[in-house]
Structure 1
């Protein structure tokens, strides 16, 4: 870390901790409270800038200086360079090729918010380039990619945080939920239901002209070469300003070529908290069974038979058999959130509430002092970015580490594979492979397109 020396890093992290505790920021300077010297701060870059890319950049500017931004869409890049210049008072360098970011010796860490199919290639190459990594969830497109990232983290010693922010944010409701289970407030857990909503299918999406400023071949990257597709109707609200139906911006979540639908999009949040509460962050299910589901198009031998419409699951109810005879249900029906059920009661938690008789009972019998900190492993920081920067100093892995993330994400990936093949899968959590199903095991990995192979070392 050439511009983040040990002495100033320690000073900086003390300031970050103080700022996090008081949540006091100097708006005019966009610096952590008490810090004015830019040399005390780490140097970051963000790769992939639409929506969440800007979100995590914006959230981190109080604690780090951003020297560069990268995106394959020149329009998105220019817009975010302008916003960041106003935010931090200094214009970042702009690149359409992320490799130019990794070549820079002055950048300590990269934040990755590209579509999912790009995560692993950029993350691995960033670690070999000596960068710490913050990568948006879901971390991987396949189970094999997760194992590769684990290997490279161990080999390089880089700090790697996954953007599953529910572990550090949302008013500590999710930390309270984990503490409730750990303290036995619902007795022995018997069932946990993760409500993650469904997706809608699409009409036929025709081939269309590639939007100006978009490097479509680079956007596809490791995925196979296909035509750009879009309908004229535009998306509004979050992620707006792009076609409502396409195989690119925002809608990539609806295609198995680039993502895993709601199973990995929201499953990466709620299944993560469920596994954390169950103490199952270093293991996995014994079986994944699709009880009910609808795919957005027809499939044969696990692959879509058409390529002009969305292809992920639109509705689903999946059962995962977890350790200690716990039944996990992942469903597109009902409230978005997590329902924990045990021998002595049940409660529900999501980003807006935590409710149920065991929660009401806390008025008379509160959790022991320090229960939340015990779950977290220490004082809870102001937000996910602070935890990442603290770990850059300590060289410990963050609360959202790659190992726990990959273990819970395996449940989501297996759920998708089970629906694509139309059958239950028996899983060996030690070997991390499907038992007695060679065809299913072929879906655990995916070959990158020629010219976009991962550069190792």
Structure 2
């Protein structure tokens, strides 16, 4: 990626006043109905379009107009331009280089759904360019990236929504779960178990030709320069049309170079709800202990020793010591979802059900009126994008803000570090560092590849 188009931080901040002023508009009578711009709607752009990128774009047509899309895969970009054109009657502009979107003054906000290793760079540069940001989970690749993002949100005053959509889930099971805990329906919480599934190991994945239309160097971006790898067998269903085994599309979650396996995938959802219910969204654990786990390849000093197989943990049971003597278990075993256990009972919640005696008791002993709204901080938004736009209008942070997200994501990142090093970690939630373990602390950050540093 050439840096010849680099904009200085001074130039960006000078342009922010006009952009920011244009974003602070009077509230509409209908919540999230849109800005009072030329056509009454905010202007969005999406960066990263495969799978979840299209999902969040599609869910946002009701509230916003999409002026531009960006993706490093020309095939994905072209397909999505056509889908957006069909949905809104006008084709968005298409770019391989996301920075061309950030240069545009007509775009109010960006939605980011790239692989995880790109999130922080794009999000920070977008905020300095005067854009509000919706970024998919997990927000960061490392713990220190979360601190960087928090600093820039505070400095720029941009509104930032993280895509942990369970907080705005339409069926409101997770909001009800938090309300049950908050209203003492399980008594004092003693244990919470987050079932987040495991993953399968891969066979050896050979070096392969880069697919036509994919800019592999730009896909890697801040990550180390490596060969593209893939097996010819194609994936079916969600994520279909791409190799079943690769180090790129869809499978990137199984590589620590780009993501954090199931811990930062499903973990970013269920650990989030658990921390919310426990009231631990502004603090953190004291200890993370990997009880048992399986890594698919050999590791040395916390780093995989081979480059041709998935390297994120396949199975795991991790104990996390949370405030108030609550034990959290993060496991690849059992049903996907969250089990809350307290002195008065227990219940289980996931995307398909909420079950247990405290739930059954609601027939005779319902929650107080407004209990769910109290959890959400007001009337529950129609969906996660609606909540984001409400925040853009009010200039208040949405329901999935960066601070609470990073606090719970630290648990997921620390769990991965503990497994990679094969030992328990003691965590200082105030200093946000690992206690007495210099080697482990070295995993809190990661250096970007030369030429792909964050431009400030």
Instruction: Give, in whole Å, the separation in 2 of the partners of 1:315 and 1:244.
Output: 20
Question: Which residue of the partner structure matches residue 244 of structure 2?
Answer: 244
Q: Tell me, what secondary structure is at the counterpart of 1:269? A: helix
Alignment CA distance shift 1:419-1:37 (3 Å)? closer
Give the TM-score normalised by the residue count of structure 2. Answer: 0.94
Question: Which residue of the partner structure matches residue 373 of structure 1?
Answer: 373
Q: How does 1:26-37 map to 2 (within 5 A)?
A: none
Question: Which residue of the partner structure matches residue 275 of structure 2?
Answer: 275
Question: Which residue of the partner structure matches residue 289 of structure 1?
Answer: 289
Question: Which residue of the partner structure matches residue 208 of structure 2?
Answer: 208
Instruction: Give, in whole Å, the separation in 2 of the partners of 1:430 and 1:365.
Output: 39
Instruction: Give, in whole Å, the separation in 2 of the partners of 1:306 and 1:6.
Output: 48
- Quote how far apart the aligned CAs of 1:14 are: 2.6
Question: Which residue of the partner structure matches residue 344 of structure 1?
Answer: 344
Q: Tell me, what secondary structure is at the counterpart of 2:244? A: coil
Question: Which residue of the partner structure matches residue 27 of structure 1?
Answer: none
Instruction: Give, in whole Å, the separation in 2 of the partners of 1:37 and 1:338.
Output: 42
Q: Tell me, what secondary structure is at the counterpart of 1:171? A: coil
Instruction: Give, in whole Å, the separation in 2 of the partners of 1:154 and 1:3.
Output: 14
- Residue deviations 1:246-269 (CA, integer Å, cap 9, x gap): 000000000000000000000000
**1:3/1:43 contact within 8 Å kept:** no
Instruction: Give, in whole Å, the separation in 1 of the partners of 2:275 and 2:248.
Output: 31
Q: Tell me, what secondary structure is at the counterpart of 2:208? A: coil
- Residue deviations 1:119-166 (CA, integer Å, cap 9, x gap): 000000000000000000000000000000000000000000000000
Mean alpha-carbon deviation: is it higher for 121-130 or for 161-170? 161-170
Gaps of 5+ in 2: 1-17
Q: Tell me, what secondary structure is at the counterpart of 2:242? A: coil
Question: Which residue of the partner structure matches residue 445 of structure 1?
Answer: 445
2:30 to 1, 15, 22: 15
Q: Tell me, what secondary structure is at the counterpart of 1:313? A: coil
Instruction: Give, in whole Å, the separation in 2 of the partners of 1:423 and 1:14.
Output: 55
**1:339/1:346 contact within 8 Å kept:** yes
Q: How does 1:102-181 map to 2 (within 5 A)?
A: 102-181=102-181
Instruction: Give, in whole Å, the separation in 2 of the partners of 1:4 and 1:112.
Output: 23
Question: Which residue of the partner structure matches residue 55 of structure 2?
Answer: 55
Tell whether 2:314 aligns with 1:305.
no
Q: Tell me, what secondary structure is at the counterpart of 1:317? A: strand
Question: Which residue of the partner structure matches residue 316 of structure 2?
Answer: 316
Q: Tell me, what secondary structure is at the counterpart of 2:30? A: helix
**1:124/1:152 contact within 8 Å kept:** yes
**1:186/1:344 contact within 8 Å kept:** yes
Moved >4 Å (runs of 4+): 1-7, 35-38
Question: Which residue of the partner structure matches residue 44 of structure 2?
Answer: 44
Alignment CA distance shift 1:413-1:36 (3 Å)? closer
Q: Tell me, what secondary structure is at the counterpart of 1:404? A: helix
**2:337/2:350 contact within 8 Å kept:** yes
**1:3/1:106 contact within 8 Å kept:** no
Tell whether 2:99 aligns with 1:99.
yes
- Quote how far apart the aligned CAs of 1:2 are: 5.3
- Residue deviations 1:317-352 (CA, integer Å, cap 9, x gap): 000000000000000000000000000000000000
Give the TM-score normalised by the residue count of structure 1. Answer: 0.94
Instruction: Give, in whole Å, the separation in 1 of the partners of 2:20 and 2:121.
Output: 25
- Residue deviations 1:13-43 (CA, integer Å, cap 9, x gap): 43345x7xxxxxxxxxxxx8xx998521100
Gaps of 5+ in 1: 20-31
- Quote how far apart the aligned CAs of 1:296 are: 1.4
Tell whether 2:238 aligns with 1:223.
no
**1:222/1:448 contact within 8 Å kept:** yes
Q: How does 1:59-98 map to 2 (within 5 A)?
A: 59-98=59-98
Question: Which residue of the partner structure matches residue 325 of structure 1?
Answer: 325
Matched length: 439
Question: Which residue of the partner structure matches residue 388 of structure 1?
Answer: 388
- Quote how far apart the aligned CAs of 1:374 are: 0.4
Instruction: Give, in whole Å, the separation in 1 of the partners of 2:23 and 2:217.
Output: 41
- Quote how far apart the aligned CAs of 1:70 are: 0.2
Instruction: Give, in whole Å, the separation in 1 of the partners of 2:23 and 2:237.
Output: 43
Question: Which residue of the partner structure matches residue 410 of structure 2?
Answer: 410
- Residue deviations 1:384-420 (CA, integer Å, cap 9, x gap): 0000000001000000000000000000000000000
What's the Cα RMSD here? Answer: 1.5
